[in-house]
Amino acid sequence: MHVMNSRELHLISDGNMALETFAKIAGAVHEWVSAVHIREKKRTVKEICLGVDHLLSRGVPLEKIYINDRVDVAWTLGVKGVHLAGHSLEPDQVKGAFPRLRVGRSVHSVAEAVRMQRQGADYLVFGHIFASQSKPGLKPRGLAELAQVAQSVTIPVMAIGGVTPEKVESVVNAGASGIAVLSGILQAGDPQEAAKRYAQALFGEEERNAKTI
């Protein structure tokens, strides 16, 4: 299991919310999160770039911003990292061409996790762990599968999908180094309070401000 100060809280855009609105929330909560992802499959490159501008204008530092899939945008704008999916370039391709970027990858099995670590991924996101409104009708993978994935690699594994503050301890105990959150913060009545609750559950009382990874 990874030590406390290596834990991470990732906030991910939901693909539906206006990026200006997402940036407003991210600006209010970034003190408690480690990474802010722009994950927008339907938006143009120009819209994604504008989304980064919105984040910066709200005080979110470049070193906390990640772009999903679009390696070219991430490199050009100088953000911290890029997060890859199954349809994206492979981690070793990205690492070879863009060595400065921190590279994450979504995985769905032990074999995929091992392969992505071998290809140089810096961290993994695995899920969905619990029932999630973003994955209706799909059976969650659960804590046992999370534990198998976490034990199969040495790089950090982030749990995603239905992870509430109350469930943070269980995913950490299963071996996760952190969590990735969408609606748990974005759809909360008070996003800032929700982020604080996640951070407290993940980092503990003595570490209320999230580490910048």
Q: Tell me, what CATH number does 159's domain have?
A: 3.20.20.70
Distances (CA, A) of 171 to 77, 145, 160: 33, 11, 10
18 exposed, middle or buried (CB, 10 Å; 0-12, 13-18, 19+)? exposed
pLDDT for residue 1 is more than 80: no
Does residue 175 form part of some domain?
Answer: yes
Q: Annotated catalytic residue: which of 10, 30, 83, 128?
A: 128
pLDDT of residue 131: 86
What sign does the dihedral 156-159-192-204 (CA atoms) show?
negative
Residue 211 lies in a domain: no
Does residue 71 lie within any of the structural domains? Answer: yes
Specify if 213 maps to a domain: no
User: What was the pLDDT predicted at 3?
Assistant: 33
Number of domains in the chain: 1
Q: What is the mean pLDDT of residues 163-173?
A: 98
Domain that holds residue 126: 4-204
Query: Is residue 89 one of the residues assigned to a domain?
Result: yes
Within-domain flag for 8: yes
Place of tokens 């991430």: 74
Q: Where are the alpha helices (DSSP H) in 153-190?
A: 168-173, 183-186
Q: At residue 205, does pLDDT exceed 70?
A: no
Residue 169 has pLDDT above 90, yes or no: yes
Q: Is it the case that residue 29 has pLDDT exceeding 70?
A: yes
Q: What whole-number percentage of the chain has pLDDT above 90?
A: 88
Write out pLDDT tens, residues 80-136: 999 999 999 999 999 999 999 999 999 999 999 999 999 999 999 999 999 876 666
Query: Is 210 part of a structural domain of the chain?
Result: no
128 in catalytic set: yes
Query: Within a domain: residue 209?
Result: no
- The SS3 of residue 64 is helix
pTM: 0.93
Q: What is the pLDDT of residue 132?
A: 73
User: Residue 212: pLDDT band by 50, 70, 90 thresholds?
Assistant: low
pLDDT score of 194: 98
Residue 209: pLDDT band with limits 50, 70, 90: low
Burial class (CB in 10 A: 0-12, 13-18, 19+), 166: exposed
